[in-house]
Structure 1
């Protein structure tokens, strides 16, 4: 037997004598890792359903706090599963069901129970129809999102945009009339016509193909770190003093960003050479294209309007050796 064969034989014997972990212990270890993400999802469902119960009893503040808690837990379960390498098919299905309940059923019932209990029978009926349409739209939106996850042939830029308004954003946006009620009291924004139309509008945004930005892939540059932390401080101050005002500002800002997201998605979709570029490089390229169009004369240069010194009531200083300015 050659020395190489003896070395291989010793390696086989050493591997054969190594103690192996039983399969039962491996299964117990994996089930233990699967327990925590699924438990967070179950807690999110319980928080969402309890928020719906609090809304039916008139405790609006606690209902919104529980709904926000459900949204936070729903965002944590996926991250915990990826960190623990505990992703599973049952966890994905459970997460989708939790999203349908917390972001579809619960917000619709909260809006109906808080804003439409004292209206006429016809107004309640129309509001309930709008609530059902909203719930169905969220379920359809989640189903489409799950199918798009399996599309490996999609261009690289698609990960920077959502198709339609995501379910968590739709849930926060549809609660805007409740925030207006708590901040400003009753008004046209609490009427059954506006509330029902608002439910239908958000449902349409959820199932539409309007692009919205995916902030998961956003990266913060070093020069915007300080302004970003300042905005976080302002948001925290508003959260503890005027939470409903913060909610109104967040919803308004999200709705305002949709046209800009649509313009960005339209620009990159017509330029296949930039599909795999990061967002920052695409922004720089759009800036260079605008400058090139201005230089070529195909784009009008926007010059900021400046008020003249005469309109400001200022006078030019006298020239050295010249005449004094007229009074």
Structure 2
């Protein structure tokens, strides 16, 4: 059967990408008026929309070169430029070191996205490469940069919100963006039928936690994401040493 995609349907993924771009840019406007919870929420919304546009494009058979380029530009602004400006407005107070750290973060985000685009056309990668990102992906990086601000909004001022701690953290996240550290990709994760019901319950509990305690839920999620990196590195190295496991389903690997 031939799938026919109407022009209006083909526009949907790009429209979602533009909405993600608008959400990311809106975070700067919220920071300028001092509404930092909404600044963080806007970047979170951009991350959710970013996770949807590509999947919807593939589902509708509406992928295009323009969509790929638009997605990269949107990610660069939403998760690179916008978080850098939010942090600068929040904590720089006109200091040059704050602007330098913000520039480093934004530049590293753009470099990370440029490398990602080149790896898409790399046909010499091993079969298991699709299970990993090279470095921290853009949405995670943008939200990780917001972690000190998230902690201050939830717990008040502390060592995590000290000016120089914030800028060291910003540069550290920038380094993770352009690093070669493998991080797990959820795009290739497939849940077995028996796990669907527990997963749906988990999604409901997660939604309740986000609604009731949004900042705490975000902070915990970001800390857990950082904690997964050592396991991801171990898994990547194990697969590199065991070619016989490359074609086996993940749950059957030993």
Deviations 1:35-58 (A, max 9, x none): 222222222211211111111110
Choose from 211, 219, 232 the match for 2:190.
219
Deviation, structure 1 residue 177: 0.5
| Equivalence for 1:105 | 81
Q: What is aligned with 2:144? A: 173
CA distance in 2, matches of 1:88, 1:101: 20
Deviation of the 1:138 alpha carbon = 0.8
Q: 2:126 matched to which residue of 1?
A: 155
| In 1: Cα distance, 2:65 partner to 2:20 partner | 18
TM norm structure 1: 0.72
Residues 169-248 of structure 1 mapped to structure 2, 5 A cutoff: 169-222=140-193, 224-225=195-196, 227-248=198-219
Secondary structure of the corresponding residue to residue 58 of structure 1: coil
* Structure with more of its chain in helix, by fraction: 2
Q: Map 1:135-146 onto structure 2 (within 5 A).
A: 135-146=106-117
Per-residue Cα deviation, 1:138-166 (whole angstroms, up to 9, x for no partner): 11111111111111221111111111110
Residue 131 of structure 1 deviates from its aligned partner by: 0.9
Is 2:237 the counterpart of 1:261?
Answer: no
Other-structure match for 2:98? 127
- Match of 2:61, SS? coil
State the superposition RMSD in angstroms. 1.9
Displacement, 1:225? 4.3
In structure 1, stretches of 5+ residues that fail to align are: 1-25, 286-327
Conservation of the 8 A alpha-carbon contact between 1:161 and 1:214: yes
Q: 2:43 aligns to what?
A: 67
Q: If the length of structure 2 is used for normalisation, what is the TM-score? A: 0.92
Shift of 1:92: 1.0
> How far apart, CA to CA, are the structure 1 residues paired with 2:237 and 2:129?
11
Q: Secondary structure at the match of 1:87?
A: coil
Structure showing greater radius of gyration is 1
3-state SS of the aligned residue for 2:55? helix
Secondary structure in structure 2 of the residue aligned to 1:212: strand
Aligned to 2:69: 93
Distance 2:119 2:49 in 1: 23
Asked which structure has the greater RCO (Cα within 8 Å, sep 6+), the reply is 2
